[in-house]
Amino acid sequence: MREERELPNPVRTGLRFVEYLNNNPDANYDDLSVDAGVTKARICQMIAHCKQLPIEITEFLLNTREPEIPNYFTERRLRPLTLLVSDEDKIKKFDEMMEAISIG
């Protein structure tokens, strides 16, 4: 029987990247990308989730006990939310996404 793989939580990953930069004040995105083994673009994308998503969304994704939720909300699916202007619009779109996957 194949075990279902849990995908990395993009918000948690972004917070780890922010923490790395806070703990290493001389480090930059290039240094972090080398240490993390990912591209600089991926570093930027993951950190954007921490900085551009409303706290209501990030807290929900960090604290959910349902593994299928962070598995669904990949970096690619969250990216359009970071482009919306208002937190209200981001939350509304997130709620629509939750309804579309019949969770919540």
Per-residue pLDDT of 11-46, as tens digits, reads: 999 999 999 999 999 999 999 999 999 999 999 989
Locate the domains of the chain by residue range: 10-100
Whether the predicted model's global pTM rises above the 0.85 cut: no
Under 8 Å between Cβ of 62 and 12: yes
Average pLDDT, the chain: 88
pLDDT at 2 (0 to 100): 39
Burial 72-95 (b: 16+ CB within 10 A, else e): ebebeebeebeebeeeeebbeebe
Tell how many helices (H) and how many strands (E) occur in the chain: 7, 0
